[in-house]
Amino acid sequence: MLNKDIYAIYTTYDEFRGGIEELFDSFEDAMKNRFKYANWYCDDGDVYIKLYKKGRPFFPSIEWHIGSDGHLIEKMEWDKYRKEEK
């Protein structure tokens, strides 16, 4: 379990694989550092930022796909698809 919220920059390596590049304490820090990375065949800064919530298994709660110009391409809230933990 995590003891604090973590924001991860995730990129795709090809059409099948991807991985976490760097971890941050805030969404803002991840946004500032996204230009070090890029999704496969995309411009620098086109990345996914994933939120891993405190006290949860290491599974993303929210995922944002951010374009190279900083606009939000898509937001996925994964928690609403998970079954309630008992």
Which tens digits make up the pLDDT trace of 11-56?
999 999 999 999 999 999 999 999 999 999 999 999 999 999 998 8
Sheet containing 47-52: give its strands across.
18-24, 6-12, 47-52, 62-66, 72-77
Q: What is the pLDDT of residue 86?
A: 45
Q: Is the four-CA dihedral 6, 7, 9, 10 of positive or negative sign?
A: positive
Q: What is the pLDDT of residue 80?
A: 73
Helix (H, G, I), strand (E, B) or coil at 1: coil
**83 pLDDT more than 70:** no
Instruction: Output the six-digit token pair for 68.
Output: 């190279």
